Amino acid sequence: MGNDDHGRRKTPCSCCMSVFKWIPVLFITAVIGWSYYAYVVQLCILGMENRVTMAVFLLFYHLTLVLFLWSYWQTIFTSVGRVPDHWRLPESEVERLFRAENQEAQKRILNNFARNLPVTNRTMNGAVRFCEKCKIIKPDRSHHCSVCNCCVLKMDHHCPWVNNCVNFYNYKYFVLFLGYALIYCLYVAFTTLNDFIQFWKNENQLSEQGQLNGTGMGRFHILFLFFIGIMFAISLVSLFGYHIYLVFMNRTTLEAFRAPIFRVGGPDKNGYNLGRYANFCEVFGDNWQYWFLPIFTSRGDGLEFPTATEQLGNNRGGYRYDAMGDTTTNRLDGQPTGDNNQAIEQQIVPQQQRNHLEITPPSQVIVNVEAQPGPISLPPPVPAAAAFPDTNNSNTPVVINIIGDHGSITTAATADKGVCELNGGPHLVANKAI
């Protein structure tokens, strides 16, 4: 079940702790058993005269109860999985790692061993994640559970109410367990609501009509059944809603509190977000017929998971909104994701051409338009040598001024460049290379 070194010896203290861990599970089982007696015997069999209503109530009750108990059983007794042996460091490498002089040497040893393993998560200092207790390289999204005493694949949290870690293999069962438990509690509360109200209105009338046990114990069974159903439903609705949110965001409880750190880009809570439907299918599978049955249909093997960057690469032209804020660099692959005018300019205009072409700021744009009636005639063509004289030994530029239907060529004393002033446009500065 675990990944520790060849198992550990059982001591009397550990055996006592193992028994103690089952107390929450036994408590939940006892509550379910009592609720079955209170609902089936006291409410339906002894409290209902209409047999058709009783049959309908019992049918939906047992259907909900079976799905609830099935999911609960699968959540409790599904193994946390085992990391394959090729993820485990040999003893020689472990000794080298512990004898390393500094963290950089340890990083080199771990990176060299994990170079062929599908790991993208890193520690805060950029090293491959390594479990000192299990002596293995931690797969992505896995963590060491001190209660289970092993590394758990895609660990969500350790739940004492199921005496097991919620992990890659039973996360679907756990979500279904919360959902069916909520439905069970709401169903019990709503179907006992009428008897609960009548109990407070007229206790004696309820006993005469046979809706409650004549001994008086049936009244209290239904009273407590309604209270416990409402109480558990209130606590389950928030927990179930939170895990549905985590499913659609493709996060675990641990990742919601502490973002996973990727090899390139650092922490990113949205690193595994593939879209709501894809995130849902990653947990519940692709076949909708098995979505609501506690049968394992999750995608993958629990060792590696698709990332948002891979999803974006497979769908070129798509865009992903990064809720963490920074969009200048993709957090997973380090490729530019935002607009970078300087990079675009370097790709379009070579450096040598940019040295010969300069555009003045917008504040120097001259707009001079004079409306002239009739057709517009352009001035005679000007030779290139006259329009742009050699400026190697002269600081006199040439100014072409076209206003309306008249054109002229003048010179002005400026810097060592030619200025072309076009009516209604910016100054274009050119030199001999144009």
The reply to whether 13 belongs to the active site is no
Extended beta strands in 2-155, E state:
130-131, 136-137, 143-145, 150-152
Q: Which two tokens stand for residue 18?
A: 């193992």
List Cα–Cα distances, 156 to 55, 152, 250, 283, 339, in angstroms.
40, 9, 11, 13, 37
- Residue type at 425? G
Q: Please list the residues that pair with 427 across neighbouring strands.
A: 421
- DSSP labels for 204-217? HHHHHHTSS-TTSH
Q: Please list the residues that pair with 329 across neighbouring strands.
A: 336
Q: Which two tokens stand for residue 387?
A: 């329009």
The CA distance from 271 to 332, in Å, is 7
pTM, whole model, 2 decimals?
0.69
What pLDDT was estimated at residue 315?
54
Give the model confidence (pLDDT) of 127-171 as tens digits: 999 999 999 999 999 999 999 889 999 999 999 999 999 999 999
Please count the other Cβ atoms lying within 10 Å of the Cβ belonging to residue 204: 7
Considering 150, 159, 185, 420, which one is annotated as catalytic? 159
Confirm if 206 and 192 have CB atoms less than 8 A apart: no
Give the model confidence (pLDDT) of 227-275 as tens digits: 999 999 999 999 999 999 999 999 999 999 999 999 877 899 999 999 9
Give the model confidence (pLDDT) of 336-377 as tens digits: 333 344 433 444 344 444 444 444 344 443 434 344 444 444
